[in-house]
Structure 1
Amino acid sequence: MKKNRLKKLGFALGLSSLLFLTACSTKVAESTNLDEKIILRYAYASNSQPIIDSMNEFGRLVSEKTKGQVEIAYFPDGQLGGERELIELTQSGAVDFTKVSGSALESFSKKYSIFSVPYLFDNEAHFYRVMDDQTVMEPIYQSTKDLGFVGLTYYDSGQRSFYMVDKPITTPADLKGKKIRVMQSETAIKMVELLGGSPIPMGSDEVYTSMQSNLINGSENNEFVLVTAGHGAIAKYYSYDEHTRVPDIVIMNEETLSKLSKKQKEAIYEAAAESTNYEKKVFKKAVEKEKTEATEKYAVQFNEVDNQPFQEAVKPLHEQFANNPDFSELFTIIKNHRNQTK
């Protein structure tokens, strides 16, 4: 109860700060003086440290590239809501930026559904080749333009695997009858069903108490949920089936972007791309640190998995996307990137 009160208090304070900033800062739409400072609002939910550092690096770079003319004000740690709420706030222009999981964008643009396809990418190198190819990503980023926001760049959110309260997952049979939290994604729901589990879609902020109360038996995510989110205190078994690599996506209100000067727009895009390169460098080290802390603090056990049986079980999803006229071309392009070299 106390935690909920604190959460509500944090939301109220964040909203008050947002309203104050909106009232007091120079609005892009009204800015005619080139020397006038523009303050853009960036809200985000709870995140791992490398992602937070990368978002802050984006703000530093924007300020540097615009010589202080454009500054970023942050509303962190879910002060203004979860990912769905943050997308809607960006859509309406109440905030100018947010960073959310690609899966959270599925209900706004079906193009983002492609990233929830299990075993879409062979490995990290394949993932980077696709995500760094603007001919692939730009149509996806622009697919929400008519809804009021566009994508700017991505951050690596690592691989997603199953982690459980009672025992490790070594084969799909271990998921039979298990209640598994998934993101609010139709593709993720279908994946767990094909693997024999019972998917329970819910927000990330509900996972800890749901495992604690036995509402769910486990979840799926990257390693940062174990210490950063504290889930390792309950879930002691992390199994590397590595079923998906869902990117995080930085989105921006389209109207705000359109009203910036040409140089300011260039600064935004350059800063976004450079913050992605920064995130790549810090992410891997942070994963290893998280694993070490999870082992030492919570005695979490990590186990490798032969994921071939998992891949076989989810083949119907590959067939579904390969044969869907809305996805077949994109699916083929992504698959063909596996054999390319940079």
Structure 2
Amino acid sequence: MIKQSRRDFLAAAAAGSAAIAAPSILRAQALVLRWADGQPATHPSPQSAVKAGTEIKEKTGGRIDVQSFPNGQLGSSRDMVESVASGALTMVTEGAAQLGQFVPQLSIIEAPYIWKDAAHMTRALKSPLIDELNKALVEKRGMRMIGVNYYGVRHLTSGKKPINSVEDMKGFKLRVPEVDTFRAMAEAWGARPTPLNFSELYLALSQGAVDGQENPLPTIASAKLAEVQKYLVLTAHIITPRLVIVNEAAWQKIPQADRAVIVAAVDKAAAWQDNEILEQEKSLADSLGKQGMTVTTPDNEAFRKPVLATVPAKFESKWGKGLWDRIQAL
């Protein structure tokens, strides 16, 4: 009987301890970081977010839980960036040109023909230039860059019409992202720019609402655009970096040691993504050709010339006088 009473006492004591500890358990719940991306889950960009999230959770002992939302689940590119600015969303991976709506200078790092090659882009984005642009983003819009990814070299595709020269772009309905530099590039070619969110692209191409689009090879492949586009035109008109952006107020609430863990994990995942995309780019043109696309290489200088004749001058006041030449010199 005495043993039974002791067991009852211990059980009651345990229950009481659990009740007292419950508020502490609630306080110790993981900090959730919601990370959005417009690319499908099969693309290296959302995959790198998952890799970074796994490492962050492990290195922080579960204190930080990164939830990945690929495929534009949380809205258009513009919607997601605006959500990060407002604090409704913690993080997004997005193209620099899209962020130009918040800090105009940022769109220059995704301008057509600004980069000589991927190494030139990497060199520039590790220079003090990126610190200056980041400072402006924090001060003006309450967002911060914590990572840079290589997204790839952008090329054209066409549904019905072969594109052998820039003259073939006259009147061509070209889907472009909802940013002004891309529209200006299309206009310089004589095309009719049609801004569309990426999540709407496949349907628009399949229905003939637009004639074609432009994106890096891994994006063309992961979005299965070969199913609705016949021609792949290797114009190599833009080398695109994508930026990992975080809401500044949310960032400042994270302890410094955990911020260091996040940045290290984002950098490590970015290195994986950069290599993955470079590897894919080596073989995807051939692979897309085997899927039925006709692959052509036009006179790229003919595409470059009208763009460089108009776009840098048109956007100089937006980017800042001399910034284009400064980047070219890096």
Same fold (TM over 0.5): yes
8 Å CA contact 1:116, 1:188 repeated in 2: no
Match of 1:84 among 78, 82, 93: 78
Q: Does 1:262 align with 2:256?
A: yes
Instruction: Indicate the residue corresponding to 1:187 in structure 2.
Output: 181
Instruction: Tell me by how many angstroms 1:161 deviates.
Output: 1.5
Deviates further, 172-181 or 226-235: 226-235
Q: Deviations over 1:44-77 (max 9, x none)?
A: 2233522122111221232233233222122232
Aligned to 2:167: 173
Matched residues in 1 for 2:275 and 2:281: separation?
A: 11
Q: Give the 5 Å matches for 1:118-157.
A: 118-133=112-127, 135-145=128-138, 146-157=140-151
Structure 2 counterpart of 1:242, from 233, 236, 241 = 236
Q: Contact 1:116 / 1:244 at 8 angstroms: preserved in 2?
A: yes
- Paired with 2:210 and 2:29, the residues of 1 have a C-alpha distance of 52
> How far apart are the structure 1 equivalents of 2:122 and 2:326?
14
Aligned with residue 323 of structure 2, among 324, 330, 337? 330
Matched, 1:300 2:293: yes
Deviation at 1:104, TM superposition (A): 1.7
- Contact kept in structure 1, 2:72 and 2:199, CA below 8 Å: no
Select which of 194, 205, 220 maps to 2:199. 205
Distance in 2, matches of 1:150 and 1:230, equals 32
> Which residue is equivalent to 1:61?
55
The residue aligned with 1:13 is none
TM-score by length of 2: 0.84
Shift of 1:156: 0.9
Return the offset for 1:290: 4.0
Alpha-carbon RMSD across the aligned residues, in angstroms, is 2.3
Aligned to 1:8: none
Does the residue aligned with 1:156 lie in a helix, a strand or coil? strand
- Deviation digits for residues 308-336 of structure 1, max 9, x if unmatched? 11221112212334x53742343222101
1:227 aligns with 2:256: no
Distance 1:329 1:271, change over 3 A: farther
Return 69-78 or 169-178, whichever deviates more. 69-78
Cα distance per residue 1:22-44 (max 9 Å; x no partner): xxxxxxxxx997x6532222222
Change (3 A) 1:150 1:170: same
Q: Provide the C-alpha distance between the structure 2 equivalents of 1:258 and 1:32, rounded to a whole number of angstroms.
A: 22
Contact 1:58 1:275 in 2 (8 A): yes
- 1:251 matched to 2:245? The reply is yes
Structure 2 contact 93–244 (Cα < 8 Å) conserved: yes
Aligned residue number for residue 100 of structure 1: 94
Contact 1:226 1:233 in 2 (8 A): no
1:125: Cα distance to partner? 1.6
Give 1:328's aligned amino acid.
K
Q: Which residue of 2 aligns with 1:217?
A: 211
Q: Shift of residue 88 of structure 1?
A: 2.0
Take 1:126 and 1:336, find their aligned partners in 2: how far apart are those partners? Answer: 10
| C-alpha separation in 1, matches of 2:323 and 2:121 | 14
Of 73-82 and 287-296, more deviation after overlay is shown by: 287-296
SS at match of 1:158: strand
Question: What percentage of residue pairs aligned between the two structures are identical?
Answer: 24
Whole-angstrom CA distance in 2 between matches of 1:123 and 1:139: 22
Contact 1:225 1:232 in 2 (8 A): no
Which structure has the bigger radius of gyration? 2
* Equivalent position of 2:111 in the other structure: 117
Question: What is the distance in 2 between the residues matched to 1:52 and 1:287?
Answer: 18
Aligned to 2:37: 44
User: 1:163, CA displacement in angstroms?
Assistant: 0.7
Instruction: Name structure 2 gaps, 5 residues minimum.
Output: 1-24
Which ranges of 4 or more aligned residues in structure 1 deviate by more than 4 Å?
A: none
